[in-house]
């Protein structure tokens, strides 16, 4: 058991040293830290999606719903009651969990692609509701947190890094437990799992709630870090829900490292594309093309199809 976490701990240690880039002259440390914070946040969202969709096979197109509920829980507690957004992060656990129970009750009776589509609807409904309930959410104006806890990004980085490490460990433990085997059994053949006495509805609901809470946590962090949210940003179909799918698809579905690698690739790619002049608006096109290419050629992602990739890179040794 101990050796199992050797490599993750080593990588965590290296990542913890990252803010030292401040010491390097000529490097825009704030810019890089911002990107790393986003990468780490996306590893959490990716791991959360992977738990539900990769391991349990319930492909969600609506993770923006959980991200957004988490973000709004934190934001509204601050704006309406003056409670710090960091307490809001804790408050997001019961709120997102309860929302996931309701969503699961409605959507989990559907199978495969129909579940996927129902979750799209959930995400879109929540966005429209948040836009229209101006009295409660402020509508399109969004929510602004005026007093930022820190001006420095280092602390935000450490908080999200700790959260990501905890998420990694948590998902890993779940997958290695009986619960995790149930999840995979449901993914592989729901009817067979059912006939073996697994209460599939119950375990699918558990997977959904766990996944939702993790994603909601990332959302609540986002509110605290960015200081501003609006429905179009946190309930975004493409920028959150589809991005979550892409992070895991590119990295590797149902793998430990897939969401992490995927988040690194996707966020850095988005940033590189954004900095190329005149390509800015085109970045979704390239994302779309990347998604198509990955699905056709690397259906199990960079990690899942690592052997295939290695063969491609060394054509001389291919069989």
Rounded Cα distance between 159 and 37, Å, is 9
3-state secondary structure of 60: coil
Check: CB of residue 119 under 8 Å from CB of residue 64.
no
- Residue list 265-284, contact with another protein (CB under 8 A): 281-282, 284
- Reading the block at residue 172, the tokens are 């890993």
Among 245, 250, 264, 265, binds another protein (CB under 8 A): 245
Q: Which stretch binds another protein (CB under 8 A): 41-49, 85-93, 156-164, 236-244?
A: 236-244
Near another protein by CB under 8 A: residue from 39, 40, 41, 59: 59
For the chain, give the longest Cα–Cα distance: 65
* Contact status: 124 vs another protein (CB under 8 A): yes
Q: How far is the CB of 247 from another protein (least distance, A)?
A: 12
193 binds another protein per the rule CB under 8 A: no
- Residue 120 near another protein by CB under 8 A: yes
Alpha-carbon distance of 286 to 265, in angstroms, equals 13
Asked whether the beta carbons of 41 and 222 are under 8 A apart, the reply is yes
CA 301/CA 130 separation, integer angstroms: 34
- β-pairing verdict for 228-229 and 143-144: antiparallel
Distance CA 76, CA 83 (A): 9
To another protein, the closest distance from the beta carbon of 113 in angstroms equals: 5
Position 196 contacts another protein (CB under 8 A): no
Q: Which residue shows structure tokens 């766990």?
A: 210
Query: Taking CB under 8 A as the rule, does residue 54 contact another protein?
Result: yes
Query: What's the residue count for the chain?
Result: 319
Which among 317, 198, 295 has a CA at the least distance from the CA of 250? Answer: 295
Q: How far apart are CA 172 and CA 159, in angstroms?
A: 20
Choose the stretch contacting another protein; rule: CB under 8 A; options: 23-31, 33-41, 145-153, 245-253: 245-253
| Minimum gap (Å) between residue 178 Cβ and another protein | 21
Among 81, 296, 307, 313, contact with another protein (rule: CB under 8 A): 296
Contact between 311 and another protein (CB under 8 A)?
no
Q: Residue 207: name the closest of 171, 239, 236, 159 by CA.
A: 171
Indicate the residue among 12 and 237 with the shorter CB distance to another protein: 237
Which one of the spans 207-215, 242-250, 266-274, 310-318 is the region binding another protein (CB under 8 A)? 242-250
Residue nearer to another protein on the CB measure, 57 or 85: 57
For residue 59, the minimal CB distance to another protein (Å) is: 4
Cα(250)–Cα(266) distance, rounded to whole angstroms? 8
Exactly one of 110, 236, 269, 273 binds another protein (CB under 8 A); which one?
A: 110
* Residue 57: CB minimum distance to another protein, A: 7
Exposed / middle / buried, residue 49 (Cβ in 10 Å: 0-12, 13-18, 19+)? buried
**One residue of 169, 177, 288, 310 binding another protein per CB under 8 A:** 288
Contact between 217 and another protein by CB under 8 A: the answer reads: no
**Which residues 6+ apart lie within 8 Å of 25 measured at CB?**
none
Q: Please, which residue, 108 or 206, has the CB nearer to another protein?
A: 108
User: Residues interacting with another protein, by CB under 8 A?
Assistant: 53-54, 57, 59, 61, 106-107, 109-110, 112-114, 116-118, 120-121, 124-125, 128-129, 131-132, 187, 237-238, 242, 245, 249, 253-254, 281-282, 284-285, 287-289, 291-292, 295-296, 299-300, 304
């Amino acid at each position: 058991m101990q050796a199992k976490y050797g490599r993750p701990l080593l990588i965590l240690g290296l990542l913890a040293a990252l803010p030292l880039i401040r010491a390097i002259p000529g490097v825009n440390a704030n810019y890089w830290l911002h990107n790393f914070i986003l990468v780490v946040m996306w590893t959490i969202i990716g791991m959360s999606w992977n738990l539900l969709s990769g391991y349990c096979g319930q492909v969600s197109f609506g993770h923006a719903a959980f991200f957004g509920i988490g973000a709004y829980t934190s934001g509204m507690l601050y704006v309406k009651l003056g409670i710090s957004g960091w307490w809001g992060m804790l408050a997001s656990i019961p709120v997102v969990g309860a929302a996931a129970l309701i969503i699961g009750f409605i959507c989990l009776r559907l199978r495969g692609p129909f579940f996927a589509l129902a979750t799209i609807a959930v995400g879109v409904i929540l966005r429209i509701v948040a836009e229209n309930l101006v009295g409660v959410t402020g509508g399109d104006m969004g929510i602004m947190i005026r007093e930022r806890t820190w001006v420095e990004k280092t602390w935000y980085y450490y908080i999200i890094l700790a959260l990501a490490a905890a998420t990694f460990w948590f998902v890993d433990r779940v997958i290695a437990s009986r619960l995790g085997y149930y999840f995979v059994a449901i993914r592989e053949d729901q009817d067979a799992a059912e006939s073996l006495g697994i209460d599939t509805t119950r375990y699918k609901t558990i997977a959904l709630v766990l996944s939702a809470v993790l994603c909601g946590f990332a959302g609540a962090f986002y509110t605290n870090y960015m200081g501003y949210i609006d429905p179009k940003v946190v309930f975004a179909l493409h920028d959150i829900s589809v991005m979550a799918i892409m992070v895991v698809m590119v990295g590797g579905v149902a793998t430990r490292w897939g969401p992490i690698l995927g988040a690194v690739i996707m966020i850095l790619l988005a940033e590189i594309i954004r900095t190329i002049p005149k390509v800015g608006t085109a970045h979704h096109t390239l994302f779309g093309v990347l998604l198509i290419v990955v699905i056709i050629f690397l259906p199990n992602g960079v990690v899942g199809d690592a052997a295939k990739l290695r063969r491609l890179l060394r054509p001389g040794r291919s069989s």
